[in-house]
Amino acid sequence: EVQLVESAGGLVQPGGSLRVSCAASGFSFNIYAMNWVRQAPGKGLEWVSSISGSDKRTYYADSVKGRFTISRDNSRNTLYLHMTRLRVEDTAIYYCAKDSETEAAAGWFDTWGQGTLVTVSS
């Protein structure tokens, strides 16, 4: 069974940093692209970033480009999102999602984690 389990989020002050992770199991993690999607309280889904399976090509939403970094450790079957210069508007549930394809920007999101809440507030 494919499973994605995000690490605990947390409360961070504006301007601070936080890294969240997503532990994957039940599939060949190193092959598939992976994604982060967020959802602000009471709002819709917003794509954050994607990373390819092998060559680790990355894509970012304009709202996070230059502040967030997506990465993966295929030896640990783990996806990361390193968030810096956090803003109040980054407050959201962050979901990791497995891609259907090996390359990012090619498929759809076939399995989602349960999400982790990141709150940016002073």
Partner 1 sequence: QSVLTQPASVSAAPGHKVTISCSGSSSNIENNYVSWYQQLPGTAPKLLIYDDHKRPSGIPDRFSGSKSGTSATLVITALQTGDEADYYCGTWDTGLSIHWVFGGGTKLTVL
Q: Is 102 in the site for partner 1 (CB under 8 A)?
A: no
Please enumerate in sequence order all residues whose Cβ is within 8 A of that of 35, keeping only pairs 6 or more positions apart, or say none.
47, 48, 49, 50, 51, 96, 97, 98, 99, 104, 109
Q: Is 62 in the site for partner 1 (CB under 8 A)?
A: yes
Q: Compare residues 47 and 84 and give the one whose CB is closer to partner 1.
A: 47
Which residue's entry shows tokens 């982790």? 116
Q: Compare residues 80 and 113 and give the one whose CB is closer to partner 1.
A: 113
3-state SS assignment for residue 47: strand
Q: How far is the CB of 29 from partner 1 (least distance, A)?
A: 18
Closest listed residue to residue 92, CA positions, set 42, 51, 49: 42
Q: Compare residues 16 and 117 and give the one whose CB is closer to partner 1.
A: 117
User: Is the distance from CB of 33 to CB of 104 less than 8 angstroms?
Assistant: yes
Q: Is 61 in the site for partner 1 (CB under 8 A)?
A: yes
Residue from 71, 111, 117, 119 in contact with partner 1 (CB under 8 A)? 111
Token couple for 68: 């967030």
Q: Is 51 in the site for partner 1 (CB under 8 A)?
A: no
The residues that touch partner 1, with contacts defined as CB under 8 A, are 35, 37, 44-47, 50, 59-62, 95, 97, 100, 105-106, 108-115
